[in-house]
A and B are shown apart, each in its own frame.
Chain A
């Protein structure tokens, strides 16, 4: 098709504009850094920059609010791209020093550089920070490097280039073939081949079709999709437009939970900007292809991440999954053929189309191609958002990128895939992270939540925690999930309270398997995973809770005993004064003891004892 927009020219113009910004100070404007005060940091930089024209290398300074860099724990992050410098944990009070010393004086501020947890050294160049060095970024390639609210900055880094090429070539089938060849699989959890999904939906071309982006990221601690939406919204829009072109849709929805106000704000602005300049909306780039995009804010129900529940929610119905078949590709939103892809999947599309299927499929494993983002949290030194080639091992992620376990503790397990995933142990550390291997091990890629747990984590409590989550988030439609999660939770609660019986384990396992087998939707089918995987790898902990009435990790309050070692106690009375319930008795200079009937196991005494005479078991 004839295009009225020359994207290469637009790109040159946009790159010129970036150059004209002079000295660029990238300040992270992701949700995490905003919460840490990045807006104040930006304001301070702007204030200082406005008055000074004597900079090291430029005559002008521009403060750029970017999307998430992923290293949220170290926020507020400030990057000086020309200097390859990343400053971490920047406070508004530090801004003046960075400005004077580095921006004007050319001298980096050592104390604000990232400190490697292993070497304890400051890392000068951002490429040398292990957290970033070991990553390969595709979906996140621009997050943190461009102004998330600027269409021009997106265009400068190849935004809408792929769409432009596709429209010129005008061959939807070739697009689908390219995605098929790339081997891309759904990044939302189940890992269905994306190209196949497109093909199935395109087969119903003719009438009205929809493209829906699933941005209902609900796993506790996961924020991959939010970061893409906040940091590079145009990439998502371009991906959706390409999908719409390929399957013959002219309307689309982005379903975002209302708890992501910043993502919604940036998406809205991105849609408006793109429509104004004909990258979206009617007659895109002057062609016959039109694609109208809406944002639907969700109320935050976890189940609405399930595609049929999401469709029901967009339609204004109660967010309850519908039985499949029919699949959305045949009968989806408002009864029409609908393509639903997750944010990350769609964000991969423009890159694949630009760099080619071959490039993409060169990354990853035999069956899982490309890269995958993970939200790395828990007991690791470096937490944050990462993107690695599929097939990267847990060891690389946890110990190289994550910098190992905090406070020198021992690694115990990692929970993958959130409440739907499972717990993996030390024996899985060298398991390649791909769809098949993880499923086989009883976990799942899921949307990419990675919670690392150290030796002092109680696995029964972990199972209880996730079961409580799924029990609350079950929609209540099908019996196995609604009643099954409730009863599994009851049993787990019994066990952590020390009231469990051995036969409970049998009932629990049996019920977990049936819920997995019999539930209507993905939520129910995966809800028992945390139970099943902890039962598989940590059965001894369950038994300890039930038979010995002990929590080996010392986490479960009901099974904890705090006692004072009479030999070590000097009778300083500090613990007795600290105890909030008056459970510690004793006289000065004589050993104290704890009245177990009064003790609420808050551990306040434990931390107060100067002689380490108090211990828990």
Chain B
């Protein structure tokens, strides 16, 4: 990192810069901003929307207009971010986009959060002088995916989704088709999202500035269940939700709002409140045991973590030959749900398997698909998890319920299956699952607790590199663990394993960069990559400071569950409730040329 201080001028103000990748970042650092649709700090700059154009005067007197997101900062230049020329371009771009846009804003999922709407207001676009989109020309909306809705009529072709899919997941599910004004963003050959290998991670939705890619909203269905007197509606919320939900109510990123969340859920009308973190502790018990078993047998190593549904689907569709490596453990959500459906009727009055509705609040769009897996449906047709709502959908419920979330008094969750440890909470950050597993595996092997719970090597996976190799010394036994974030990195790990270059025994994969804290279902944060770090910090803080226990095997509710029902990890009963099977989704698919 260069420490040379250089300066340039922005609207007459002398501004220092060092190693900022582009002029736009310098402008933002200086406390100013220019609008943009296509610039996302985390992905390759594209220069397509032309909203961030600035007028630059060079010391030699040359004046030019260029997109600030693609310009490297240069010492001595004089930048105007609000000149007549650039404002004219921005306003014209807005008018042109709006003319070609389905402007049914009031019924749009993105209304209020839409960047096009925001800039149109800021720039005072009151009339559109160009012929507007003919309703008859509108393209069909793709609702095929269990997680996402793609509305091409709201697409402004900024290409952020295309780049996110390519650069995070290496997957290029979305691409550009046609050219010129006929250009579209769509899956291969115009297929529906459900018919291609989309892993439903929702990063395309996370970077979309408009309502072109939105979550498949199921809030109304959940309200219907809540207002159905026949039903008992219970809720569980994933680790990352507690450090992001507050952002929707003016609280800062990373602020842990779990107590407020419990309270809000009660006010909304959920009958019982649980925590997915408990499921995470359960996952650790099962997965650590499975891992040690495989280590002993030396079979199917490295073991792949299986909490991330996008990763599971990726393996099923792209690498079915590697499925044996994948842990048979269900995700924390899908462990807790069957436990609830099985044991609530035993512990709470009025609860039956049939009348219990489990709603999971997740930072993730892929979870919506996960809960519909046939493996997670009983023979009686009852699903373990009935509904998955994203953090954003849950925030919407809280808002519509008229709850003053910012000032609501924190409450406790219900018990049992609510208490959790720090190991469960750090699942939300990339590296957290491995760290949590390491704490318990250490205990399982040695019978002693690890001296230092903070295994810092596991942390910050997204920040500098999305792949980390950690060596752990369990009293003389050396274990190597690889932690990767994004499927691009996961694919490289698979190549490594298949080429025989991998010397590690455990592979943790999170499809979203930085892990679940940055999941596709979280409040929008694509403009600021520090937000996901702040959320992760919030989780690590809860782990270190707020919780009584920091190791899954110490969770009294967990101990009780094994004592009373499950017997021991990887027992027959736990296999029934907590483990799963996988499908080869390549065979017979459109890619399978042998069929």
Binding site for B on A (CB under 8 A): 301, 303, 318, 320, 322-325, 471-480, 482-487, 490, 507, 510-511, 514, 517-520
Given contacts A323-B47, A483-B99, contact A474 B179 (CB under 8 A): yes
B193: CB under 8 A from chain A? no
CA distance A476 to B186 in the complex (A): 14
Partner of B93, one of A301, A303, A473, A518: A518
- Give the distance to chain A from B159, nearest Cβ to Cβ, in Å: 7
CA distance A474 to B157 in the complex (A): 14
- Give the distance to chain A from B411, nearest Cβ to Cβ, in Å: 49
Partner of A476, one of B69, B85, B129, B178: B178
CB-CB < 8 A to A485: which residues of B?
A: 180-181
- Give the distance to chain A from B70, nearest Cβ to Cβ, in Å: 4
Q: Are A301 and B179 in contact (CB under 8 A)?
A: yes
B72: CB under 8 A from chain A? yes
The 7 closest A-B pairs by CB, nearest first: A476-B183, A323-B47, A323-B70, A483-B96, A518-B89, A486-B181, A474-B180
Interface SS of B by simple majority: loop
The interface bits of chain B over 49-84 (1 if a CB of A lies within 8 angstroms of the residue's CB, else 0) are 110010000000000011101111000000000000
Q: Are B131 and A479 in contact (CB under 8 A)?
A: no
The interface bits of chain B over 471-509 (1 if a CB of A lies within 8 angstroms of the residue's CB, else 0) are 000000000000000000000000000000000000000
CA distance A472 to B156 in the complex (A): 18
- Give the distance to chain B from A497, nearest Cβ to Cβ, in Å: 14
B46: CB under 8 A from chain A? yes
The interface bits of chain B over 177-205 (1 if a CB of A lies within 8 angstroms of the residue's CB, else 0) are 01111110000000000000000000000
CB-CB < 8 A to B100: which residues of A?
A: 483
Given contacts A490-B131, A514-B89, A518-B92, contact A476 B70 (CB under 8 A): no
CA distance A325 to B77 in the complex (A): 15
Q: Are A472 and B180 in contact (CB under 8 A)?
A: yes
Q: Are A323 and B179 in contact (CB under 8 A)?
A: no
B176: CB under 8 A from chain A? yes
Q: Are A477 and B130 in contact (CB under 8 A)?
A: no
CB-CB < 8 A to B85: which residues of A?
A: 517
Q: Are A480 and B96 in contact (CB under 8 A)?
A: yes
| Contact sample, A vs B, 24 pairs, CB 8 Å cutoff | A303-B179, A318-B176, A322-B47, A323-B67, A325-B70, A471-B180, A473-B179, A475-B180, A475-B183, A476-B178, A476-B179, A476-B183, A478-B47, A480-B89, A483-B97, A484-B92, A486-B180, A487-B99, A511-B92, A514-B88, A517-B89, A518-B65, A520-B48, A520-B50
CA distance A482 to B130 in the complex (A): 14
Partner of A520, one of B47, B129, B157, B180: B47
Q: Are B180 and A479 in contact (CB under 8 A)?
A: no
B45: CB under 8 A from chain A? yes
**Which B-chain residue is minimally distant from A482 (CB atoms)?**
B181
CB-CB < 8 A to A518: which residues of B?
A: 50, 53, 65, 89, 92-93
Interface size class of B (residues with CB under 8 A): 35 or more
Binding site for A on B (CB under 8 A): 45-50, 53, 65-67, 69-72, 85, 88-89, 92-93, 96-97, 99-100, 129-131, 156-157, 159, 175-176, 178-183
CA distance A96 to B331 in the complex (A): 88
Q: Are B157 and A476 in contact (CB under 8 A)?
A: yes
CB-CB < 8 A to A490: which residues of B?
A: 130-131
**Which B-chain residue is minimally distant from A513 (CB atoms)?**
B88
Q: Are A479 and B96 in contact (CB under 8 A)?
A: yes
CA distance A325 to B70 in the complex (A): 7
CA distance A479 to B99 in the complex (A): 12
Given contacts A323-B45, A325-B70, A483-B97, contact A473 B89 (CB under 8 A): no
CA distance A511 to B65 in the complex (A): 16
Partner of B46, one of A323, A484, A517: A323
CB-CB < 8 A to A510: which residues of B?
A: 92
CA distance A318 to B175 in the complex (A): 10
CB-CB < 8 A to A471: which residues of B?
A: 180-181
> What 16 additional pairs, Cβ within 8 angstroms, besides A480-B92, A484-B96, A520-B67?
A301-B179, A320-B176, A323-B45, A323-B67, A475-B179, A476-B176, A476-B183, A478-B47, A486-B180, A487-B99, A507-B129, A507-B130, A517-B65, A518-B53, A518-B93, A520-B48
- Give the distance to chain B from A470, nearest Cβ to Cβ, in Å: 9
CB-CB < 8 A to B180: which residues of A?
A: 471-476, 482, 485-486
Q: Chain B CB within 10 Å — which of A301, A479, A484 has the most?
A: A479
**Which A-chain residue is minimally distant from B94 (CB atoms)?**
A479
CA distance A471 to B183 in the complex (A): 11
CA distance A473 to B181 in the complex (A): 9
Partner of B182, one of A323, A476, A479, A487: A476
CB-CB < 8 A to A478: which residues of B?
A: 47-50
CA distance A518 to B51 in the complex (A): 9
